[in-house]
Amino acid sequence: MMSSSKFSEEFKRDAVAQITERGYPVREVSERLGVSPYSLYAWKRKFAKASCGEAEKDTEIRRLKKELARVSEERDILKKATAYFARDAK
């Protein structure tokens, strides 16, 4: 078996994805890739911390998109109201 420093970040992420996204058991991935289960669990913890920040960003992006849609709608209503009152003022 190779030490964990010999594996690229991409390899580690792909190995973890097989467990977390595709649902393969750790033992099966470990045997297939020639990586110790301990390394897989360590990589999983490492990337879980990184993805936690990503989840927070995704939540903030969704919130901002909703706010942008609301503000855009309000702007459009105000444009129509301005045009309406400008027409009546003539």
pTM comes to 0.51
For residue 69, being part of any structural domain is answered with yes
The pair of three-digit structure tokens given for residue 43, joined into one six-digit string: 């990589």
Q: pLDDT tens digits for 69-89? A: 999 999 999 999 999 988 877
Q: pLDDT tens digits for 27-60? A: 999 999 999 999 999 999 988 777 666 777 878 8
Specify the number of domains making up the chain. Answer: 1
For residue 3, being part of any structural domain is answered with no
pLDDT of residue 70: 96
The pair of three-digit structure tokens given for residue 2, joined into one six-digit string: 């190779």
CATH code for the domain of 38 = 1.10.10
| DSSP-derived secondary structure letter, 42 | H
* Segments forming the whole domain that contains residue 48: 9-89
